[in-house]
Structure 1
Amino acid sequence: MKAILSFLYQWLIFIPILVVTTVATAILVMLGCSVGNNKFWGYVPPKYWSKIVCRAALCRIKVRHNNKIDPNQSYVFVANHQGAFDIFLTYGYLDQNIKWVQKYELRNIPFVGKASEIAGHVFVDSSNTRALSQTIDKAERELAEGVSMAIFPEGQRTYTGKMGRFKKGAYIIATQMQLPIVPITLNGPYDILKIHSRIMHPGKDLEIVIHDPISTAGMTEADIPGLIETSRRVIESALWDKYK
Protein backbone atom coordinates (compact mmCIF):
# COMPACT_ATOMS: atom_id res chain seq x y z
CA MET A 1 0.00 0.00 0.00
CA LYS A 2 2.82 2.40 0.88
CA ALA A 3 4.49 1.77 -2.50
CA ILE A 4 1.21 2.47 -4.31
CA LEU A 5 0.65 5.72 -2.39
CA SER A 6 4.22 6.83 -3.12
CA PHE A 7 3.74 6.07 -6.82
CA LEU A 8 0.49 8.04 -6.97
CA TYR A 9 2.00 10.94 -5.05
CA GLN A 10 5.01 11.04 -7.36
CA TRP A 11 3.03 11.18 -10.60
CA LEU A 12 -0.11 13.05 -9.55
CA ILE A 13 1.39 15.65 -7.22
CA PHE A 14 5.20 15.82 -7.23
CA ILE A 15 5.82 15.64 -10.99
CA PRO A 16 3.27 18.37 -11.86
CA ILE A 17 4.77 20.63 -9.17
CA LEU A 18 8.28 19.91 -10.47
CA VAL A 19 7.38 20.62 -14.11
CA VAL A 20 5.45 23.83 -13.43
CA THR A 21 8.01 25.30 -11.03
CA THR A 22 10.93 24.30 -13.26
CA VAL A 23 9.48 25.99 -16.35
CA ALA A 24 8.43 29.07 -14.36
CA THR A 25 11.87 29.36 -12.74
CA ALA A 26 13.68 28.91 -16.07
CA ILE A 27 11.58 31.65 -17.70
CA LEU A 28 12.13 33.95 -14.73
CA VAL A 29 15.90 33.37 -14.87
CA MET A 30 16.07 34.00 -18.62
CA LEU A 31 14.03 37.19 -18.42
CA GLY A 32 15.75 38.47 -15.28
CA CYS A 33 19.29 37.81 -16.52
CA SER A 34 18.48 39.41 -19.88
CA VAL A 35 17.34 42.71 -18.41
CA GLY A 36 18.74 42.81 -14.88
CA ASN A 37 21.33 41.60 -12.41
CA ASN A 38 22.75 38.24 -13.51
CA LYS A 39 24.12 37.59 -10.04
CA PHE A 40 20.66 37.95 -8.45
CA TRP A 41 18.42 36.39 -11.10
CA GLY A 42 20.79 33.52 -11.78
CA TYR A 43 20.76 32.46 -8.15
CA VAL A 44 17.74 33.58 -6.11
CA PRO A 45 14.88 32.08 -8.19
CA PRO A 46 16.64 28.68 -8.51
CA LYS A 47 17.37 28.73 -4.77
CA TYR A 48 13.68 28.94 -3.91
CA TRP A 49 12.76 26.54 -6.71
CA SER A 50 15.09 24.01 -5.09
CA LYS A 51 13.48 24.51 -1.69
CA ILE A 52 10.03 23.99 -3.20
CA VAL A 53 11.15 20.75 -4.89
CA CYS A 54 12.63 19.39 -1.66
CA ARG A 55 9.48 20.23 0.26
CA ALA A 56 7.26 18.81 -2.48
CA ALA A 57 9.19 15.55 -2.10
CA LEU A 58 8.21 15.66 1.61
CA CYS A 59 11.87 15.70 2.63
CA ARG A 60 13.04 16.53 6.14
CA ILE A 61 16.02 18.87 5.76
CA LYS A 62 18.95 19.16 8.15
CA VAL A 63 21.61 21.81 7.50
CA ARG A 64 24.91 21.86 9.37
CA HIS A 65 26.08 25.42 8.71
CA ASN A 66 29.64 26.71 8.96
CA ASN A 67 30.29 30.22 10.30
CA LYS A 68 33.72 30.22 8.65
CA ILE A 69 32.13 30.68 5.21
CA ASP A 70 32.22 34.31 4.08
CA PRO A 71 29.27 35.25 1.78
CA ASN A 72 31.50 37.84 0.06
CA GLN A 73 34.30 35.37 -0.68
CA SER A 74 34.48 33.14 -3.76
CA TYR A 75 35.01 29.43 -3.16
CA VAL A 76 35.11 26.17 -5.03
CA PHE A 77 32.58 23.88 -3.37
CA VAL A 78 33.09 20.16 -3.90
CA ALA A 79 30.46 17.61 -2.91
CA ASN A 80 29.78 13.90 -3.17
CA HIS A 81 27.20 13.00 -5.81
CA GLN A 82 24.46 10.69 -4.53
CA GLY A 83 21.54 11.50 -6.81
CA ALA A 84 19.40 14.03 -8.65
CA PHE A 85 18.36 15.70 -5.38
CA ASP A 86 21.97 16.73 -4.70
CA ILE A 87 21.36 19.82 -6.82
CA PHE A 88 18.16 20.79 -5.01
CA LEU A 89 19.71 20.23 -1.58
CA THR A 90 22.85 22.23 -2.39
CA TYR A 91 21.18 25.03 -4.36
CA GLY A 92 18.43 25.45 -1.80
CA TYR A 93 20.33 25.20 1.46
CA LEU A 94 24.00 26.08 0.94
CA ASP A 95 23.13 29.80 1.22
CA GLN A 96 25.97 30.81 -1.09
CA ASN A 97 25.69 32.34 -4.55
CA ILE A 98 26.99 29.60 -6.82
CA LYS A 99 27.52 28.72 -10.45
CA TRP A 100 27.35 25.04 -11.34
CA VAL A 101 29.85 23.11 -13.40
CA GLN A 102 27.64 20.47 -15.03
CA LYS A 103 27.59 17.89 -17.79
CA TYR A 104 27.32 19.26 -21.33
CA GLU A 105 24.34 16.96 -22.04
CA LEU A 106 22.22 18.96 -19.57
CA ARG A 107 22.39 21.92 -21.95
CA ASN A 108 19.84 20.11 -24.13
CA ILE A 109 17.10 20.02 -21.46
CA PRO A 110 14.23 22.30 -22.60
CA PHE A 111 14.10 25.60 -20.70
CA VAL A 112 16.63 24.44 -18.07
CA GLY A 113 19.60 24.24 -20.46
CA LYS A 114 19.04 27.70 -21.91
CA ALA A 115 18.35 29.25 -18.49
CA SER A 116 21.55 27.70 -17.12
CA GLU A 117 23.56 29.08 -20.03
CA ILE A 118 22.16 32.60 -19.62
CA ALA A 119 22.70 32.47 -15.85
CA GLY A 120 26.40 31.70 -16.39
CA HIS A 121 26.57 28.07 -15.36
CA VAL A 122 29.39 26.13 -16.99
CA PHE A 123 28.89 23.01 -19.11
CA VAL A 124 31.70 20.47 -19.06
CA ASP A 125 32.73 19.05 -22.42
CA SER A 126 35.21 16.32 -21.56
CA SER A 127 35.44 14.96 -25.10
CA ASN A 128 39.01 16.17 -25.49
CA THR A 129 41.75 18.03 -23.64
CA ARG A 130 41.22 21.29 -25.53
CA ALA A 131 37.49 21.33 -24.77
CA LEU A 132 38.17 20.63 -21.11
CA SER A 133 40.69 23.48 -21.00
CA GLN A 134 38.13 25.87 -22.50
CA THR A 135 35.62 24.73 -19.88
CA ILE A 136 38.03 25.59 -17.09
CA ASP A 137 38.74 29.00 -18.66
CA LYS A 138 34.99 29.77 -18.81
CA ALA A 139 34.53 28.69 -15.19
CA GLU A 140 37.25 31.09 -14.12
CA ARG A 141 35.65 33.97 -16.06
CA GLU A 142 32.30 33.41 -14.35
CA LEU A 143 33.77 33.73 -10.87
CA ALA A 144 33.43 37.17 -9.33
CA GLU A 145 33.40 38.57 -5.83
CA GLY A 146 30.94 36.60 -3.74
CA VAL A 147 30.14 34.12 -6.53
CA SER A 148 31.45 30.58 -6.19
CA MET A 149 31.62 27.35 -8.17
CA ALA A 150 29.88 24.13 -7.15
CA ILE A 151 31.24 20.92 -8.63
CA PHE A 152 30.72 17.18 -8.16
CA PRO A 153 34.29 15.84 -8.54
CA GLU A 154 33.04 12.28 -9.11
CA GLY A 155 31.52 13.45 -12.39
CA GLN A 156 28.48 11.20 -12.10
CA ARG A 157 26.02 9.93 -9.53
CA THR A 158 26.97 6.96 -7.41
CA TYR A 159 25.51 3.53 -8.14
CA THR A 160 25.91 2.28 -4.56
CA GLY A 161 25.61 5.33 -2.30
CA LYS A 162 29.35 5.25 -1.70
CA MET A 163 31.79 7.78 -3.16
CA GLY A 164 33.73 7.12 -6.34
CA ARG A 165 37.03 8.48 -7.64
CA PHE A 166 37.44 12.26 -7.67
CA LYS A 167 38.51 13.99 -10.89
CA LYS A 168 40.82 16.99 -10.74
CA GLY A 169 38.90 19.67 -12.69
CA ALA A 170 37.58 21.46 -9.58
CA TYR A 171 41.04 21.48 -8.06
CA ILE A 172 42.66 22.92 -11.19
CA ILE A 173 40.24 25.86 -11.00
CA ALA A 174 40.87 26.32 -7.27
CA THR A 175 44.66 26.24 -7.50
CA GLN A 176 44.86 28.41 -10.63
CA MET A 177 42.67 31.08 -9.02
CA GLN A 178 44.00 30.50 -5.50
CA LEU A 179 40.45 30.01 -4.19
CA PRO A 180 39.64 28.05 -1.03
CA ILE A 181 38.07 24.64 -1.49
CA VAL A 182 35.02 23.88 0.67
CA PRO A 183 34.08 20.20 1.01
CA ILE A 184 30.36 19.46 1.31
CA THR A 185 28.86 16.20 2.50
CA LEU A 186 25.43 15.29 1.15
CA ASN A 187 23.41 12.57 2.84
CA GLY A 188 20.08 11.15 1.75
CA PRO A 189 19.58 11.96 -1.98
CA TYR A 190 20.57 8.39 -2.88
CA ASP A 191 17.58 7.09 -0.91
CA ILE A 192 15.10 9.33 -2.75
CA LEU A 193 16.01 8.70 -6.38
CA LYS A 194 18.79 6.39 -7.47
CA ILE A 195 20.67 6.78 -10.74
CA HIS A 196 18.67 5.58 -13.80
CA SER A 197 15.59 4.99 -11.63
CA ARG A 198 12.16 6.52 -12.30
CA ILE A 199 10.76 5.53 -8.93
CA MET A 200 11.02 8.22 -6.28
CA HIS A 201 10.81 7.52 -2.56
CA PRO A 202 9.39 10.67 -0.92
CA GLY A 203 9.51 11.53 2.75
CA LYS A 204 13.21 10.83 3.31
CA ASP A 205 15.77 12.70 5.43
CA LEU A 206 18.24 14.97 3.66
CA GLU A 207 21.35 16.48 5.20
CA ILE A 208 23.95 18.93 3.95
CA VAL A 209 27.16 19.44 5.91
CA ILE A 210 29.36 22.43 5.05
CA HIS A 211 32.95 21.85 6.17
CA ASP A 212 35.77 24.28 6.87
CA PRO A 213 37.46 25.91 3.85
CA ILE A 214 40.77 24.44 2.70
CA SER A 215 43.23 27.12 1.63
CA THR A 216 45.00 26.77 -1.71
CA ALA A 217 47.28 29.78 -1.18
CA GLY A 218 50.65 29.16 -2.81
CA MET A 219 49.59 25.76 -4.17
CA THR A 220 50.17 24.54 -7.72
CA GLU A 221 49.01 21.64 -9.86
CA ALA A 222 51.54 19.46 -8.10
CA ASP A 223 49.55 19.83 -4.89
CA ILE A 224 46.27 18.65 -6.43
CA PRO A 225 46.55 14.95 -5.48
CA GLY A 226 46.95 15.97 -1.83
CA LEU A 227 44.00 18.38 -2.05
CA ILE A 228 41.82 15.67 -3.57
CA GLU A 229 42.70 13.22 -0.83
CA THR A 230 42.19 15.76 1.95
CA SER A 231 38.79 16.97 0.69
CA ARG A 232 37.62 13.42 -0.01
CA ARG A 233 38.54 12.36 3.51
CA VAL A 234 36.68 15.34 5.00
CA ILE A 235 33.54 14.62 2.96
CA GLU A 236 33.60 10.95 3.91
CA SER A 237 33.97 11.78 7.61
CA ALA A 238 30.42 13.15 7.75
CA LEU A 239 28.73 10.52 5.60
CA TRP A 240 26.10 8.39 7.24
CA ASP A 241 27.52 4.98 8.10
CA LYS A 242 25.59 3.19 5.35
CA TYR A 243 27.34 5.35 2.72
CA LYS A 244 30.90 4.82 3.97
Structure 2
Amino acid sequence: MKRLLYLIYFWLIAMPVFVVCTIILALITYLGCPLSKSNWFCFYPGMIWSRIAIWLSFCSIKVEGWENLDAKAGPYVVVANHQGAFDIFMMYGYLGIPFKWVLKEGIRKIPFVGAACRAAGFIFVDDTKPSSIGKTMKSAHEVLASNTSIFIFPEGSRSSDGQMARFKKGGFIMASELGVPIVPIAIDGSFDVLKRGSLTVTPRRLRMTILPTMHIEDFGEPPMNIQLAAREAQRRIAFAIPSERKFKEA
Protein backbone atom coordinates (compact mmCIF):
# COMPACT_ATOMS: atom_id res chain seq x y z
CA MET A 1 0.00 0.00 0.00
CA LYS A 2 2.83 2.42 0.86
CA ARG A 3 4.41 1.81 -2.54
CA LEU A 4 1.11 2.45 -4.31
CA LEU A 5 0.57 5.69 -2.40
CA TYR A 6 4.12 6.79 -3.18
CA LEU A 7 3.66 6.11 -6.91
CA ILE A 8 0.43 8.12 -6.92
CA TYR A 9 2.25 10.97 -5.17
CA PHE A 10 5.23 10.69 -7.51
CA TRP A 11 3.29 10.86 -10.78
CA LEU A 12 0.55 13.28 -9.72
CA ILE A 13 2.53 15.68 -7.52
CA ALA A 14 6.30 15.20 -7.53
CA MET A 15 6.80 14.78 -11.27
CA PRO A 16 4.67 17.79 -12.34
CA VAL A 17 6.39 19.99 -9.74
CA PHE A 18 9.79 18.75 -10.90
CA VAL A 19 9.01 19.45 -14.57
CA VAL A 20 7.86 22.99 -13.77
CA CYS A 21 10.97 23.63 -11.64
CA THR A 22 13.16 22.24 -14.43
CA ILE A 23 11.68 24.65 -16.97
CA ILE A 24 11.86 27.68 -14.68
CA LEU A 25 15.42 27.06 -13.46
CA ALA A 26 16.64 26.14 -16.95
CA LEU A 27 15.26 29.44 -18.25
CA ILE A 28 16.94 31.34 -15.40
CA THR A 29 20.25 29.68 -16.33
CA TYR A 30 19.77 30.24 -20.06
CA LEU A 31 18.92 33.93 -19.66
CA GLY A 32 21.20 34.70 -16.74
CA CYS A 33 24.53 33.19 -17.84
CA PRO A 34 25.10 35.54 -20.80
CA LEU A 35 24.37 38.55 -18.56
CA SER A 36 26.74 37.67 -15.73
CA LYS A 37 30.48 37.12 -15.60
CA SER A 38 30.23 35.17 -12.35
CA ASN A 39 29.37 31.50 -11.91
CA TRP A 40 26.13 32.26 -10.05
CA PHE A 41 23.68 31.69 -12.90
CA CYS A 42 25.81 28.86 -14.29
CA PHE A 43 25.77 26.85 -11.08
CA TYR A 44 23.29 27.81 -8.37
CA PRO A 45 20.00 27.34 -10.29
CA GLY A 46 21.20 23.80 -11.00
CA MET A 47 22.07 23.29 -7.36
CA ILE A 48 18.57 24.37 -6.32
CA TRP A 49 17.04 22.14 -9.03
CA SER A 50 18.99 19.14 -7.74
CA ARG A 51 18.00 19.67 -4.12
CA ILE A 52 14.36 19.97 -5.15
CA ALA A 53 14.65 16.64 -7.01
CA ILE A 54 16.00 14.83 -3.96
CA TRP A 55 13.48 16.50 -1.65
CA LEU A 56 10.55 15.55 -3.91
CA SER A 57 11.75 11.93 -4.09
CA PHE A 58 11.79 11.60 -0.27
CA CYS A 59 15.41 10.45 -0.41
CA SER A 60 17.73 11.43 2.42
CA ILE A 61 21.36 12.30 1.81
CA LYS A 62 24.46 12.29 3.98
CA VAL A 63 27.64 14.04 2.88
CA GLU A 64 30.94 13.19 4.54
CA GLY A 65 34.49 14.44 4.06
CA TRP A 66 33.91 18.20 3.80
CA GLU A 67 37.31 18.69 5.43
CA ASN A 68 38.94 17.20 2.31
CA LEU A 69 37.65 19.93 -0.01
CA ASP A 70 39.02 23.48 0.14
CA ALA A 71 36.93 25.60 -2.22
CA LYS A 72 39.63 28.28 -2.31
CA ALA A 73 42.39 25.85 -3.35
CA GLY A 74 40.87 24.86 -6.70
CA PRO A 75 40.33 24.39 -9.49
CA TYR A 76 39.93 20.63 -9.32
CA VAL A 77 39.10 17.75 -11.58
CA VAL A 78 36.33 16.03 -9.61
CA VAL A 79 35.62 12.37 -10.39
CA ALA A 80 32.97 10.01 -9.01
CA ASN A 81 31.50 6.57 -9.58
CA HIS A 82 28.19 6.57 -11.46
CA GLN A 83 25.59 4.29 -9.86
CA GLY A 84 22.44 5.93 -11.17
CA ALA A 85 20.62 8.99 -12.47
CA PHE A 86 20.36 10.53 -9.00
CA ASP A 87 24.16 10.88 -8.89
CA ILE A 88 23.66 14.08 -10.89
CA PHE A 89 21.39 15.57 -8.23
CA MET A 90 23.74 14.49 -5.46
CA MET A 91 26.80 16.08 -7.05
CA TYR A 92 25.12 19.21 -8.32
CA GLY A 93 23.12 19.79 -5.17
CA TYR A 94 25.58 18.96 -2.42
CA LEU A 95 29.23 19.18 -3.52
CA GLY A 96 29.25 22.84 -2.59
CA ILE A 97 31.70 24.26 -5.15
CA PRO A 98 30.88 25.66 -8.62
CA PHE A 99 32.02 23.42 -11.46
CA LYS A 100 31.42 22.67 -15.13
CA TRP A 101 30.07 19.27 -16.13
CA VAL A 102 31.57 17.05 -18.82
CA LEU A 103 28.42 15.67 -20.45
CA LYS A 104 27.40 13.28 -23.19
CA GLU A 105 26.45 14.92 -26.47
CA GLY A 106 22.90 13.60 -26.17
CA ILE A 107 22.18 15.98 -23.27
CA ARG A 108 22.09 18.83 -25.79
CA LYS A 109 18.83 17.46 -27.18
CA ILE A 110 16.89 17.47 -23.90
CA PRO A 111 14.35 20.33 -24.02
CA PHE A 112 15.28 23.28 -21.78
CA VAL A 113 18.05 21.30 -20.03
CA GLY A 114 20.27 21.16 -23.12
CA ALA A 115 19.94 24.89 -23.75
CA ALA A 116 20.73 25.65 -20.11
CA CYS A 117 23.82 23.42 -20.21
CA ARG A 118 25.09 25.17 -23.34
CA ALA A 119 24.51 28.60 -21.80
CA ALA A 120 26.34 27.53 -18.63
CA GLY A 121 29.41 26.55 -20.66
CA PHE A 122 29.31 22.87 -19.85
CA ILE A 123 31.55 20.61 -21.90
CA PHE A 124 30.03 18.08 -24.29
CA VAL A 125 31.76 14.96 -25.55
CA ASP A 126 30.60 12.75 -28.41
CA ASP A 127 31.81 9.20 -27.81
CA THR A 128 30.88 8.24 -31.38
CA LYS A 129 33.30 10.74 -32.91
CA PRO A 130 36.95 10.35 -31.91
CA SER A 131 37.65 13.70 -33.55
CA SER A 132 35.60 15.43 -30.83
CA ILE A 133 38.09 14.40 -28.13
CA GLY A 134 40.48 17.21 -29.05
CA LYS A 135 37.72 19.80 -28.88
CA THR A 136 36.60 18.46 -25.52
CA MET A 137 40.12 18.63 -24.11
CA LYS A 138 40.55 22.20 -25.38
CA SER A 139 37.30 23.26 -23.72
CA ALA A 140 38.34 21.56 -20.49
CA HIS A 141 41.69 23.35 -20.50
CA GLU A 142 39.93 26.70 -20.95
CA VAL A 143 37.60 26.00 -18.02
CA LEU A 144 40.40 24.93 -15.69
CA ALA A 145 42.56 27.87 -16.78
CA SER A 146 39.70 30.17 -15.73
CA ASN A 147 39.97 28.75 -12.18
CA THR A 148 36.74 26.75 -12.44
CA SER A 149 36.60 23.07 -11.50
CA ILE A 150 35.43 20.29 -13.81
CA PHE A 151 33.31 17.27 -12.92
CA ILE A 152 33.35 14.01 -14.85
CA PHE A 153 32.06 10.46 -14.41
CA PRO A 154 35.13 8.45 -15.52
CA GLU A 155 33.03 5.34 -16.19
CA GLY A 156 31.30 7.21 -19.00
CA SER A 157 27.78 6.01 -18.21
CA ARG A 158 25.80 4.90 -15.20
CA SER A 159 25.98 1.33 -13.98
CA SER A 160 23.54 -1.32 -15.19
CA ASP A 161 24.28 -3.70 -12.31
CA GLY A 162 25.61 -1.52 -9.49
CA GLN A 163 29.25 -2.40 -10.16
CA MET A 164 31.83 0.13 -11.25
CA ALA A 165 33.27 -0.18 -14.73
CA ARG A 166 36.93 0.62 -15.24
CA PHE A 167 37.64 4.35 -15.16
CA LYS A 168 38.50 6.02 -18.46
CA LYS A 169 41.53 8.29 -18.57
CA GLY A 170 40.08 11.54 -19.96
CA GLY A 171 39.68 13.39 -16.68
CA PHE A 172 43.08 12.27 -15.48
CA ILE A 173 44.71 13.46 -18.70
CA MET A 174 43.15 16.87 -18.05
CA ALA A 175 44.57 16.89 -14.52
CA SER A 176 48.01 15.82 -15.77
CA GLU A 177 48.29 18.39 -18.55
CA LEU A 178 47.36 21.34 -16.31
CA GLY A 179 48.71 20.06 -13.00
CA VAL A 180 45.28 20.24 -11.37
CA PRO A 181 44.45 18.24 -8.20
CA ILE A 182 41.92 15.40 -8.43
CA VAL A 183 39.06 15.04 -5.95
CA PRO A 184 37.56 11.51 -5.84
CA ILE A 185 33.93 11.23 -4.69
CA ALA A 186 32.30 7.98 -3.55
CA ILE A 187 28.56 7.73 -4.24
CA ASP A 188 26.40 5.02 -2.70
CA GLY A 189 22.68 4.29 -2.62
CA SER A 190 21.59 5.87 -5.89
CA PHE A 191 21.60 2.62 -7.88
CA ASP A 192 18.44 1.48 -6.11
CA VAL A 193 16.65 4.85 -6.43
CA LEU A 194 16.27 4.89 -10.20
CA LYS A 195 17.79 1.92 -11.98
CA ARG A 196 18.88 2.21 -15.57
CA GLY A 197 15.85 1.80 -17.84
CA SER A 198 13.37 2.33 -15.00
CA LEU A 199 10.78 5.11 -14.84
CA THR A 200 9.86 4.74 -11.18
CA VAL A 201 11.74 6.12 -8.20
CA THR A 202 12.29 4.26 -4.92
CA PRO A 203 13.28 6.42 -1.91
CA ARG A 204 16.63 5.43 -0.44
CA ARG A 205 19.32 6.80 1.85
CA LEU A 206 22.02 8.38 -0.27
CA ARG A 207 25.62 8.78 0.81
CA MET A 208 28.35 10.91 -0.76
CA THR A 209 31.91 10.82 0.57
CA ILE A 210 34.47 13.45 -0.44
CA LEU A 211 37.84 11.71 -0.36
CA PRO A 212 41.29 13.28 0.13
CA THR A 213 42.69 15.20 -2.82
CA MET A 214 45.07 13.38 -5.16
CA HIS A 215 47.99 15.04 -6.96
CA ILE A 216 48.81 13.33 -10.22
CA GLU A 217 52.51 14.22 -10.01
CA ASP A 218 52.71 11.85 -7.04
CA PHE A 219 52.19 8.94 -9.46
CA GLY A 220 55.33 9.48 -11.55
CA GLU A 221 55.82 10.74 -15.09
CA PRO A 222 53.35 10.79 -18.00
CA PRO A 223 51.84 8.73 -19.46
CA MET A 224 52.06 6.05 -16.75
CA ASN A 225 50.99 8.45 -14.01
CA ILE A 226 47.63 8.90 -15.75
CA GLN A 227 46.81 5.19 -15.66
CA LEU A 228 48.09 4.80 -12.11
CA ALA A 229 46.08 7.79 -10.87
CA ALA A 230 42.91 6.47 -12.52
CA ARG A 231 43.35 3.09 -10.87
CA GLU A 232 44.10 4.62 -7.48
CA ALA A 233 41.08 6.95 -7.63
CA GLN A 234 38.86 3.99 -8.44
CA ARG A 235 40.40 1.91 -5.65
CA ARG A 236 39.80 4.66 -3.09
CA ILE A 237 36.21 5.15 -4.21
CA ALA A 238 35.50 1.41 -4.07
CA PHE A 239 36.99 1.19 -0.58
CA ALA A 240 34.74 4.04 0.61
CA ILE A 241 31.50 2.39 -0.56
CA PRO A 242 30.04 0.29 2.28
CA SER A 243 27.79 -1.77 0.04
CA GLU A 244 28.97 -4.86 -1.81
CA ARG A 245 29.02 -3.09 -5.17
CA LYS A 246 32.71 -2.79 -5.93
CA PHE A 247 34.39 -2.15 -9.23
CA LYS A 248 35.04 -4.90 -11.75
CA GLU A 249 38.56 -6.25 -11.92
CA ALA A 250 38.17 -7.07 -15.63
Q: What TM-score, normalized to structure 1?
A: 0.95
- 2:154 aligned with 1:153, yes or no? yes
- Runs of 4 or more above 3 Å deviation: none
Give per-residue Cα distances to partners, 1:105-127, cap 9 Å, x unaligned.
01100110011011011111122
Instruction: Determine whether 1:221 maps to 2:227.
Output: no
1:16 aligns with 2:44: no
Say which of 237, 240, 243 aligns to 2:239: 237
Specify every segment of 5 or more residues in structure 1 that has no aligned partner in the other structure, as ranges: none
> Contact 1:153/1:166 (CA < 8 Å) preserved in 2?
yes
The equivalent residue for 2:25 is: 25
Residue 110 of structure 1 corresponds to: 111
Mapped to 2, the partners of 1:210 and 1:80 lie a distance apart of 12
Local SS of the residue matching 1:61: strand
Query: What's 1:181 paired with?
Result: 182
Q: Write out aligned runs for 1:1-244 (5 A).
A: 1-72=1-72, 73-144=74-145, 146-202=147-203, 204-217=204-217, 219-244=221-246
Write out per-residue CA displacement over residues 197-239 of structure 1, whole angstroms, 9 at most, x where no aligned residue: 111113x101110001101237423311101110000000111
Residue range with higher mean Cα deviation, 130-139 or 81-90 = 130-139
| Mapped contact 1:175–1:216 kept (Cα < 8 A) | yes
Cα distance change on mapping 1:41 and 1:118 into 2, 3 Å: same
TM-score, normalised by the number of residues in structure 2? 0.93
* Deviation at residue 144 of structure 1 after TM alignment: 4.4
CA-CA distance at 1:57 after TM superposition:
0.7
The alpha carbon displacement at 1:242 in A equals 2.9
Identity %: 40
Instruction: Give the letter aligned to residue 68 of structure 1.
Output: N
Give the 3 Å change call, closer, same or farther, for CA 118–219 of structure 1 in structure 2: farther
What's the CA shift for 1:7? 1.5
Distance 1:207 1:237, change over 3 A: same
Answer yes or no: is the 8 Å Cα contact 1:175–1:219 preserved in 2. no
Deviations 1:152-193 (A, max 9, x none): 000011011111111111111111111111110011111110
In 1, Cα distance between equivalents of 2:62 and 2:93: 12
- For these two proteins, the number of residue pairs brought into alignment is 243
RMSD of equivalent CA atoms: 1.4
